[in-house]
Amino acid sequence: MRKYILKRIFQSLISVILVVICVFLLLRLMPVSGFFTRDDYINMTEPMRNAYLKSIGVFDNPFIQLKNFAVNLFHGDLGRSITVYPKMRITEILSQKAPYSIKFGLVGMGLSVVLGVSLGIAMARFKEKLVDNLGTFYIVLVRAIPSLIYLFLIQIWVTGFFGWPMNFYDDQPVSWILPTVSIALAGIAWYAIWLRRFMVDEENKDYIKFARAKGLPHKYIIKRHVLRNAIVPLVQYLPVQLLLTIAGSLIVENIYSIPGMGGLLVYAIKQQDNNLVQILVLIYSVLGVFGVFIGDILMVLVDPRIKLEESKE
């Protein structure tokens, strides 16, 4: 177990380092205007721009720039935003935006797990009946229609019916409900459809038929055998989805004007804010790699039949 964890940590570090190197070097191919605010770029002459770029090391060897970036990162210096939030420290930007995404992400993810797993169990237990048909209709609806469309319609109809505010406000808790539910909708469908599939597959296996032949109660079989084995594949992807949800929902945060991290990376790329882009890519890559790693560990804890190391026999 320890050997496997150390091996995966090493592999995860290599993956993150490769992502950062690729993004860092690709950003150096972007126009140098991304290193200036709009006002500075307009007001400076060409010699002044070149002097500024030289002073911040843009003309240095890319690998020397990468080394300097890594050293600063190790000392906790994430740099400053250039064009999105001119000259503002990136740590300050993240400290303002991350709490919103974390709060909505955690609550939305918890809601999606509880409702999605419950719906999946109900659909598998009452297969081809009303509950299953309604669940299937919901899943098809959510997965077939572009999320921007049904989220926009929910915002218009629900806020109009209940008289709720259309945008998020810190001092109005009722305005937090729809964004949280909107974040959870896709997750509910995902957990429901896959749990139903895994449970139906498990119910058709020989060991379940043998348990029924022995006269074990149906609820006991579902709880102790079917559900326990069907939940294992979902566990592997739970940390990834959790961490990426916390990182921010692009559509939901934009629709409800939530000042979180959703859409920040896309906007930073559009504005050619190289410093902010490379930090956000680093954060998202670490979240993704860390999520996969935790998922593998959780699978072992949930299912003791899975061995992380080869047998010595």
Confidence (pTM):
0.77
Do 231 and 303 form a contact (C-beta atoms < 8 A)?
A: no
Residues 104-125: tens digit of each pLDDT = 888 888 898 899 989 988 988 8
For residue 174, what is the enclosing H or E element?
none
- In order of 10, 23, 37, 90, 149, the CA distances from 47 in angstroms are 45, 28, 17, 28, 49
192 against 19, higher pLDDT: 192
Residues 127-178: tens digit of each pLDDT = 889 999 999 999 999 888 888 888 888 889 988 888 888 888 888 889 999 9
Give the chain's domains with CATH numbers: 95-272 (1.10.3720.10)
- With a pLDDT cut of 70, the percent of the chain lying above it is 91
The span from the CA of 1 to the CA of 289, in Å, is: 19
pLDDT at 244: 62
How many CB atoms sit inside 10 A of residue 234's CB? Answer: 22
pLDDT at 246: 66
Tokens of 8: 């995966």
pLDDT at 247: 60
pLDDT at 274: 79
